[in-house]
Chains A and B, each alone.
Chain A
Amino acid sequence: MHIFPIVDLNGIQIDLSAIIAIVVTSIIVFVLARLAVRNLSVENPGKLQNFMEWVIEFVHNTIASTMPFEKAKKFISLGMTLIVFIFVANLLGLPFQIITEAHHEIHWLGITKEVLEAHDGHAHISWWKSPTADISVTAGLALVVFVIVHSLGLKWNRKHYLKHYFEPYPIFFPINLIETVAKPVTLALRLYANILAGEILISTILMLKVWGLPFMAVWQGFSIFVGAIQAFLFTVLTMVYISQAAIHDEEHAH
């Protein structure tokens, strides 16, 4: 297992590889989005614009299926950013790895004597990974969703939102509380575990050297699929949570 470059800054440990990955992902997403809207046209959209509009329609449909149309519009941007960011992040770790070998103590990277000894004198430092293969990053995303869901619940739908903690009977309050906490935790863990598993398997296949090529091809393809599915899942679940908390369906009032 590789170790990651950790910088200790006044007692705060910073994972450089995660930060690099997040920055790169953000830049890729932003450049992609800018490219898509470079030559905006009402009547004759370009290929990238068409693709982006297809994604918007797709996100819109997933949102519209969980909440009324008028309210869904406000979350298309959030859903779009989530799905594109997570998809790009999931794919980021697939094509290559950047690994440096450290044979000496590098204190600012957290390579101490003990670490070196634990790795037989040469530590592999991995600079490149999917940001979503890091529980800290997916926790951040889940936290954003968590805050949005509950603030919207409080803002738009206060009465029913607060009431739902005591449904169907007040005694269910602890269970509802657990559910509330479990939602973002599962959101973060699911994404993290799926992508991490993909990366671990990739590094495992790498150990097979040349013989691993066919497996690598298959697994890379499957990882793209998993990345897309996870991005889709994360977005849809976010929308479902938002609609559960923030939208009170008058017709099925309970």
Chain B
Amino acid sequence: MSFYPSSTIFTIIAFLVLLWLLNKYAFGPLFGVMEKRRQLIQEQMNAAANSRVEAEASMAEQKAALDEARKEAYAIIEQARATSSKQAEEIVSSAKNEATRLKDEALKDIESEKNKAISALRTEVGGISVQIASKIIEKQVDEKSQEEIVNKYLNEVGSK
């Protein structure tokens, strides 16, 4: 095997031409496509990351809304409970007041009726005793005693 410089030179030229041709017509476009795909994947990954962030944000939002709603419901229940117990207390107290008032009124009525009855009884007893007294007096005062009394009165008048 001998060495031919012409082959060497031809190889160099052929290789450089091939390199240039491949760069221009084959690898250049291929690199472009691969770069484009890289960008596409990058974009898609970015989009995926973005949508994940968005999803997380909306999930947090929903969670917050849910928590708020729960809190609100709890507050409403609490309020209702408070209102109902207050109302119950009010009803009970008003009923108590009413009962006390009725009792007091009844007591007052009884008292006044009692007083009325007592005074009526007193009047009646007075009348009856006067009648009884006049009946007794009528029976016992005769002519003699009447005279005595008249005399007495006359004496009293004369002495003056």
Task: Name A's B-contacting residues (CB within 8 A).
Answer: 6, 12-15, 18-19, 22-23, 26, 29-30, 33-34, 36-37, 40-43, 45, 49, 52-53, 56, 76-78, 80-81, 85, 131, 134-137, 139-141, 143-144, 196
Contact = CB atoms under 8 A, between A and B. Distances in A.
Contacts of A137: 7-8, 11
24 contacts: A6-B4, A14-B6, A14-B7, A15-B4, A15-B7, A22-B11, A22-B14, A30-B18, A30-B22, A33-B25, A33-B26, A34-B25, A42-B33, A56-B27, A76-B27, A85-B18, A131-B11, A134-B7, A136-B8, A140-B7, A140-B12, A141-B11, A144-B12, A144-B15
A140 B8 CA distance: 4
- Main DSSP-derived SS at the B contact region: helix
Interface of B: 1, 3-12, 14-19, 21-23, 25-27, 29-31, 33-34, 36-37, 40
A161 B27 CA distance: 30
Where chain A touches its partner, the secondary structure class is helix
A78 B7 CA distance: 21
Given A26-B18, A136-B5, A18 B10 contact: yes
Given A15-B7, A30-B22, A137-B8, A42 B36 contact: yes
A140 B10 CA distance: 8
A15 B26 CA distance: 30
A134 B5 CA distance: 11
Nearest to A145: B15
B22 A18 contact: no
A26 B14 contact: yes
Contact of A14 (B4, B21, B25, B37): B4
Please name the 7 residue pairs, one residue from A and one from B, whose CB atoms are nearest each other, closest first: A140-B11, A33-B26, A136-B7, A140-B8, A18-B7, A137-B11, A140-B12
